[in-house]
Homo-oligomer: A and B are copies of this chain.
Amino acid sequence: MENLMATRLSLNGVFPPIPTPFDEQGDLALEALTANLAHWNEYDLSGYVVLGSNGEGVYLTTKEKIEVWETVRRAVPDEKLVIAGTGSESTRETIALSRLAAGAGADAVLVLTPHYYGGQMSPEALRRHFEAVAEQVPVPVMIYNMPRFTHIDLSAETIVEIGRHPNVVGLKDSGGNVGKLAEIVRATEGHLQVLAGSASFFFPALAVGAVGGVMALANIAPQALLDLYDRHGRGKWREGAVLQQRLVPVNTAVTARFGVPGLKAALDMLGYYGGPVRSPLRALDDAELRALKGILERDGIL
């Protein structure tokens, strides 16, 4: 495995966790996916997370997942990363799926904490899970900490321990606790590349040492987040902070408030293909659509 990691994967920059397009029957709409990617490819995005939470990954069959990863890989130039969300409840399924993702061309896998038997998911059990995956998967592994959905919040200490494995290269943390990110950056001395899991704290995360972000908002406002990233990188932190301020309301709308249905509706409004969500998720109703439109217009995104 050593040679696979000879060239370290850089996770710097902005990554949209892309939604998965479905047609009106709820089947995969792969041409729409390709069209969306052609549009996103025009931006200086570092890559894409495919089948994370925003991709409704938990709603797809294994066969569908492979089709999505293959479609994305074909539609994305080699220099942009394809990061596949492969976290499953069991270690063996996570490994199997990660290998399939690698076979479909993924550059790395993003592994969510297993969480169904929450009371049994001790730090020790989770550490062994991630290490087993890191050991048996032919591409680098990123830890995905998402307390809002999993009801498990990996501690800084556990993340640092898992991050010692040479094939664990990054962390997407959606918890929003920037102090914790700072602690992780410090303790891993940069070995573990930390990415903000939401635009709501992108600039603060960069300020304490994160290298980038995987942010739903990057699907609909990629340039704004690239600008923010750029200002931070060039030391223009005050300008970065101002940009951060501007993005907060729209980000809240397409994440906590309206979720994946809101993200897809926003894409529809912006000329991308958003399309329907799979049930039990439900489309926004008219009042919600109007509210979303108002927010997008007020913030100059629409």
Which residues of A are at the interface with B, using a C-beta cutoff of 8 A?
A: 26, 53, 56, 58-59, 61-62, 89-93, 114, 116-121, 124-126, 128-129, 132, 148-149, 151, 156, 176-180, 182-183, 185-186, 198-201, 203-205, 207-209, 235, 237-238, 240-241, 244-246, 248-249, 251-252, 256, 259-261, 278-282
Q: Is the CB of A279 within 8 A of B132?
A: yes
Task: Let me know if A280 and B91 touch, CB within 8 A.
Answer: yes
How far apart are the CA atoms of A199 and B176 in the complex, in Å? Answer: 15
A58–B89 touching, CB < 8 Å: yes
* A279-B180 Cα distance, complex, nearest whole Å: 28
Once A26-B92, A204-B204, A204-B207 are accepted as A-B contacts, the answer to whether A186 and B280 lie under 8 Å apart by CB is no
The distance in angstroms between the C-alpha atoms of A240 and B114, with both chains bound, is 37
- Residue of B91, B124, B281 touching A278 (CB-CB under 8 A): B91
Cβ 8 A contact of A259, one of B117, B185, B186, B240: B117
CB–CB B183/A281 < 8 A: no
Q: Are A59's CB and B183's CB within 8 A?
A: no
The distance from the CB of A245 to the nearest CB of chain B, in whole angstroms, is 5
A119-B256, A259-B117 given; A128·B204 CB < 8 A: no
A148 touches B126 (CB 8 A): no
Query: In this complex, what residue of B is CB-closest to A258?
Result: B120
A186 partner residues in chain B, CB cutoff 8 A? 245-246, 248-249
Q: How far is the CA of A220 from the CA of B210 in the complex (A)?
A: 28
A128-B282, A203-B208, A245-B186 known; A177+B179 contact, CB < 8 A: no
Tell whether, in the assembled complex, residue A177 and residue B180 are in contact, meaning their CB atoms are under 8 Å apart: no
Cβ contacts under 8 Å, A90 to chain B: 56, 58-59, 278-280
Query: When the two chains form their complex, are residues B59 and A93 in contact, meaning their CB atoms are under 8 A apart?
Result: yes
Nearest CB of chain B from residue A174's CB, rounded to whole Å: 11
12 sampled A-B residue pairs with Cβ under 8 A: A59-B93, A90-B279, A118-B148, A126-B280, A129-B280, A176-B178, A177-B201, A178-B204, A186-B248, A203-B208, A209-B245, A237-B237
Contact B200 A182 (CB under 8 A): yes
Minimum distance in angstroms from A198 CB to a CB of chain B:
7
A252 to B249, CA, bound (A): 30
Closest to A232 in B: B237
Residue of B nearest to A280 (CB): B129
Give Cα A280 to B148, complex, Å.
21
Chain B residue contacts of A176, Cβ below 8 A: 176-179
Is B208 within 8 A of A244, CB to CB?
Answer: yes
Complexed CA–CA distance, A120 and B59 (Å) = 14
The 7 closest A-B pairs by CB, nearest first: A179-B200, A204-B204, A59-B90, A91-B279, A129-B280, A237-B237, A58-B89
Check B117 against A149 for contact (C-beta < 8 Å).
yes
